[in-house]
């Protein structure tokens, strides 16, 4: 009985911390990340854009569409979704995209890869008004799924994601 109680208490504690509960009702994802021993942006590549939000997003989208075999699967406008619920937030959009010729061999090698596919790229506006673009580092992706970092598909992800980001954030 003690073990069940301890496990339940640990689960509630982790849930409260990951939800950002700190007794004041103010959320804090950094607190959750520190609690579980992970840097707040571990595994992410974040690049500041030299462009405004709409230009950065449009360029990222156009760069994705130019890649051979890649298609946009979905786009999520977090700001629009928030506004639909009467909430305010700065611009933030997510583009989900895939190339089955790259993703399928990765999922065959490690089925857990399915949790991270299709690929995602986020464009968002920071508190200070700067625009950023973020995506999962392919090396982190490989490590997370016990794939060799020198696997050809991981190299392709690194090159493709890097080219999208460069096209989106540069002048």
Which of 14-23, 40-49, 62-71: highest mean pLDDT? 62-71
Location of structure tokens 């696997």 = 151
CA atoms of 74 and 97, how far apart (whole Å): 7
In this prediction, residue 40 has a pLDDT band, given cuts at 50, 70 and 90, of low
SS3 77: strand
CA atoms of 31 and 147, how far apart (whole Å): 30
* CB half-sphere exposure, 153, CA atoms < 13 A: 19
What's the rounded mean pLDDT across residues 19-24? 37
Strands (E) in the chain, as ranges, are 44-48, 71-77, 92-98, 119-125, 131-136
What's the rounded mean pLDDT across residues 32-61? 80
In sequence order, which residues have a C-beta less than 8 Å from that of residue 141 and are 6 or more positions away?
Answer: 43, 113, 116, 147, 154, 157
pLDDT given at position 170: 94
In this prediction, residue 150 has a pLDDT band, given cuts at 50, 70 and 90, of confident
What's the rounded mean pLDDT across residues 19-28? 37
SS3 52: coil
Yes or no: say if 93 and 79 are a contact pair by the CB < 8 Å rule.
yes
User: Which fold would CATH assign to domain 41-169?
Assistant: TATA-Binding Protein (3.30.310)
Q: What are φ and ψ of residue 149, in 5° steps?
A: -65, -20
SS3 145: coil
């Amino acid at each position: 009985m003690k073990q069940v109680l301890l496990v339940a208490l640990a689960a509630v504690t982790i849930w409260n911390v990951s939800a950002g509960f700190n007794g004041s009702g103010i959320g804090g994802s950094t607190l959750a990340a520190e609690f579980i021993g992970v840097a707040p942006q571990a595994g992410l590549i974040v690049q500041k854009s030299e462009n405004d939000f709409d230009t950065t997003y449009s360029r990222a989208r156009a760069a994705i569409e130019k890649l051979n075999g890649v298609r946009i699967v979905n786009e999520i406008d977090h700001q629009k979704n928030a506004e639909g619920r009467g909430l305010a937030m700065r611009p933030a959009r997510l583009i989900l995209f895939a190339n089955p010729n790259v993703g399928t061999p990765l999922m065959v090698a490690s089925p857990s890869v399915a949790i991270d596919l299709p690929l995602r790229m986020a464009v968002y506006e920071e508190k200070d008004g700067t625009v950023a673009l973020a995506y999962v580092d392919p090396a982190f992706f490989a490590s997370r799924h016990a794939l060799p970092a020198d696997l050809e598909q991981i190299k392709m992800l690194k090159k493709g994601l890097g080219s999208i980001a460069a096209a989106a954030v540069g002048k």
